[in-house]
Amino acid sequence: MNKGESSLTSLISAFSRAYHSQFDTPKIFDDYLAKDLITEKEFNDIQTNMVQGIQFFNKEIAEKLNGNTEELLKWIVQIQLSPTPLARAAYCEKVLLNEVMLGLQQYVILGAGLDTFSFRHPELEHILEIFEIDHPATQQFKETRLNEAHFILPSNVHFVAMDFTKRFLHQTLINSGFDNNKTFFSLLGVSYYLTKEETSSLIEHLFANLPSGSSIVMDYADENLFKEKGLSNRVDNMVKMAAASGEPMKSCFTYEEMETMLEKSGLLIYEHLSPSNINELYFDNREDYLTAFETIHYVHAVKK
């Protein structure tokens, strides 16, 4: 991953959150600060590139909405880009805030990108230590963006530069102020790009030295990832886009495989959300294009 690729991934994710916050109603997840971390030019460039790529996403929609740029963009963002990032962030933060109410003091974000949680929750500055782990290039990019937006990094936030997808360095986390107390991890939008063995090894390393009650929220693709076309071919499009970007999707799990992998590291599934569960929780009774993504599941697992 080079700096340009790292920045682009973070930007597109921030774009989808910013678009939702500004234009969609009702809100699934309101990241009202995301827009401050991307420039107006970047926002406009991403919009333009998405609309120009409509033929790739869906030729029928391209013809039906030809010339209606605003509706084309809405269709692409709501069908292809936003559903999973919005719903998984909403679910993860709901679980996290509940854990904080129960006394949690450490939160580790794996693949933090342009995450804004700490800025949206200043009331937690003296309650929760937050460790944002990501590729060094992404960390540098985020620090630059925070400075440009005149954001002051809260005292409870620690940036940890690490390519954890290659090797998780527990000592690097310790050196940043982490201790082996009860911890909550988020691992969102990552498992697809690792092999099953890499995901299993990562979970094992994360929880090896942590006490009972530590937990993780993660998303994963089920066994239909490489077979399911999805609404308007969006699952197939997602797999093709990942491959074209040089970061192919490598793994998918049955529920039983996920359960077995987590048990290997001493974790039990406390809650599991299937696509239909996610749709009911976050997308019910909407009048726009937003619906839960096929094949994507969320898990909250707790160490025994």
**Chain position carrying tokens 């019910």:** 284
* Residue ranges making up the domain that contains 54: 3-81
Please identify, among 81, 115, 136, the residue that sits at the C-terminal boundary of a domain: 81
What pLDDT digit, counting tens, does each position of 243-292 carry? 988 889 999 999 999 999 999 999 999 999 999 999 999 999 999 999 99
Could you give the CA distance from residue 233 to residue 221 in angstroms, rounded to a whole number? Answer: 16
Could you give the CA distance from residue 283 to residue 271 in angstroms, rounded to a whole number? Answer: 19
Query: What is the predicted pLDDT for the residue at 1?
Result: 46
Please identify, among 35, 52, 81, the residue that sits at the C-terminal boundary of a domain: 81
CA distances from 11 to 5, 110, 145 (A): 10, 17, 11
Count structural domains, the chain. Answer: 2
Query: Angle CA(255)–CA(259)–CA(261) in degrees, nearest 5?
Result: 115
Q: What is the mean pLDDT of residues 117-139?
A: 96
Query: Angle CA(68)–CA(74)–CA(75) in degrees, nearest 5?
Result: 90
Are 118 and 7 part of one and the same domain? Answer: no
What pLDDT digit, counting tens, does each position of 199-220 carry? 999 999 999 999 999 999 999 9
Closest to 77 measured CA to CA, from 39, 7, 23, 8: 23
Are 108 and 225 part of one and the same domain? Answer: yes
Could you give the CA distance from residue 165 to residue 6 in angstroms, rounded to a whole number? Answer: 14
Q: What is the DSSP letter of 81?
A: I
What pLDDT digit, counting tens, does each position of 53-112 carry? 999 999 999 999 988 999 999 999 999 999 999 999 999 999 999 999 999 999 999 999
Q: Is the N-terminal amide bond of 83 cis, ω within 30° of 0?
A: no
Query: What is the predicted pLDDT for the residue at 245?
Result: 84
Q: What is the largest CA-CA distance in the chain?
A: 57
Are 100 and 214 part of one and the same domain? Answer: yes
pLDDT score of 297 more than 90:
yes
CATH assignment of the domain containing 210: 3.40.50.150
Are 163 and 202 part of one and the same domain? Answer: yes
Phi, psi for residue 270 in degrees, rounded to 5: -85, -40
**Chain position carrying tokens 């933090």:** 112
Are 93 and 227 part of one and the same domain? Answer: yes
Contact 180, 206 (CB under 8 A): no
Give percent above pLDDT 70 in the chain. 98
Q: What is the DSSP letter of 86?
A: H
Query: What is the predicted pLDDT for the residue at 6?
Result: 59
pLDDT score of 45 more than 90:
yes
CA distances from 276 to 90, 113, 119, 252, 268 (A): 16, 28, 32, 18, 22
Query: What is the predicted pLDDT for the residue at 4?
Result: 52
Are 77 and 89 part of one and the same domain? Answer: no
